Amino acid sequence: MNIKTLKIFSDLVENANFSKTARLNNVSQSAISQKVRLLEERLNVNLLKKNQKSFQLTNEGAVFYRHAKLILSEYDAMLEDLQNYDAKTLGGINLLTNYWIGIYIIPRYVREYFKTFKNFTLDINYGDYKDIQTANLDPRFNLIILEFPLHNENFTAELFAKDEFVMVCLAQSNFPHWQTFSLEHLESYPLIGFTKNHPLRSIFEQGLGKKISRPQYLMEFNQIELIKQAIEMHDSMAILPKSSVRLPREEHIFRVLPLADTHISIPFYLIHRKTQKPNRAMEHFIAILKGKQQLLL
């Protein structure tokens, strides 16, 4: 899934026409249908309810469309901001990361950087978990940020910050009014969780060790926003990174509890090529990453 896919789906919803959407995006009509089908397979939900001449959004499709528009809006705003800066003297940064880090983690460092250094370009590229191991070999990427180091002799990985997992449920949920969340409760309450191949699920379950048996999952998604939407719809709970539920607009929606009997950290690695000397823009940005760990706290 990438920005182009989100745009195609949004155009399809807004135009209600496969052929017009294909023309707008310079692809074939069959390609539009294929992208929708692949999205549904990846998310394991039906996004469209089709008949012979038209289609309607399913409830899941409406949720996906709403969040796709939010992501596209943020992406357009970022591009507009970056076009206002001149990279002639500082050079540029071509950053590769994944969606949740790009949405929740990187913006706080970018804002900090812009307080002092305004004349640089930053291109943020998002990779799926399945293809990021090969995408990171593209020579145009001069900086990579992930929650796991790359096992590649051409790159060096340095731990620069950490996040932590917390339990998230509705502010007015039917769960007991815990002050903290004990992992023993996972044996009684199934989670809205990440898909099996998601690094955050791997980090969490590895952090559990042998304390309890594997959690039960009521639903599984590969995007944090979909998990939060599912919590609202089903009055359920999830274990999420603390940084992903600290948005002011969500304070009245969710209750966030620290884990009572363990602390499971989420590492963030700064990765770059061993043979590539950082330009001035990269040097300044790396200094922000290394010197502002408190931004995650």
CB–CB of 204/165 below 8 Å? yes
Quote the Cα angle for 188-216-266, to 5°.
105
Asked whether residue 89 is assigned to any structural domain, the reply reads no
Contacts 24+ apart (CB under 8 A), 287-293: 288/109, 288/112, 288/113, 289/109, 289/145, 289/160, 289/161, 290/160, 292/109, 292/112, 293/160, 293/161, 293/162
Say whether both 46 and 149 belong to one domain.
no
The residues facing 32 across adjacent strands are none
Say whether both 140 and 24 belong to one domain.
no
- What is the value of pTM for the model shown? 0.65
Averaged confidence pLDDT in the chain: 83
Say whether both 31 and 171 belong to one domain.
no
Say whether both 266 and 154 belong to one domain.
yes
* Phi/psi of residue 239, nearest 5 degrees: -105, 115
Asked whether residue 224 is assigned to any structural domain, the reply reads yes
Closest to 21 in 3D by CA, of 45, 41, 5, 37: 5
The sign of the dihedral angle between the CA atoms of 239, 242, 243, 248 is positive
Give the per-residue pLDDT at 89.
45
Write out the residue range of the structural domain in which residue 145 sits: 128-274+292-297
Give the per-residue pLDDT at 88.
44
Closest to 125 in 3D by CA, of 99, 88, 156, 89: 99
Residue 295 pLDDT > 60, yes or no? no
CB–CB of 28/22 below 8 Å? yes
CB–CB of 278/289 below 8 Å? no
Give the per-residue pLDDT at 15.
87
Tens digit of pLDDT for each residue in 29-41? 888 888 888 888 8
Residue-level length of the chain: 297
Question: At which of 33, 48, 68 does a domain end?
Answer: 68
Say whether both 21 and 165 belong to one domain.
no
Q: What's the whole-number mean pLDDT along residues 227-238?
A: 93
Indicate the number of domains in the chain. 2
Question: At which of 32, 48, 68 does a domain end?
Answer: 68
CB–CB of 50/37 below 8 Å? no
Task: Give the pLDDT band (50/70/90) at residue 220.
Answer: very high
Asked whether residue 116 is assigned to any structural domain, the reply reads no
Give the per-residue pLDDT at 80.
61
Interatomic CA distance for residues 205 and 219, integer angstroms:
16
Asked whether residue 250 is assigned to any structural domain, the reply reads yes
Asked whether residue 264 is assigned to any structural domain, the reply reads yes
At 61, which amino acid appears?
A: G
Tens digit of pLDDT for each residue in 92-115? 788 888 889 988 888 888 877 777
Tokens of 183: 């992992």
Other beta carbons within 10 angstroms of residue 92's beta carbon come to: 17
CB–CB of 127/136 below 8 Å? yes
Interatomic CA distance for residues 99 and 223, integer angstroms:
8
Say whether both 253 and 134 belong to one domain.
yes
Q: What's the whole-number mean pLDDT along residues 189-194?
A: 93
213, HSE (Cβ side, Cα atoms, 13 Å) = 6
Say whether both 137 and 221 belong to one domain.
yes
Give the per-residue pLDDT at 81.
60
Asked whether residue 149 is assigned to any structural domain, the reply reads yes
Of 15-19, 138-142, 184-188, least confident by mean pLDDT is 138-142
Which whole-number Å values give the CA distances from 252 to 169, 174, 178, 222, 248, in the listed order? 11, 15, 17, 24, 8
Asked whether residue 261 is assigned to any structural domain, the reply reads yes
Say whether both 262 and 144 belong to one domain.
yes
Cα Dmax for the chain: 58
Say whether both 166 and 49 belong to one domain.
no
CATH of the domain at 17: 1.10.10.10
Asked whether residue 99 is assigned to any structural domain, the reply reads no
Give the per-residue pLDDT at 184.
86
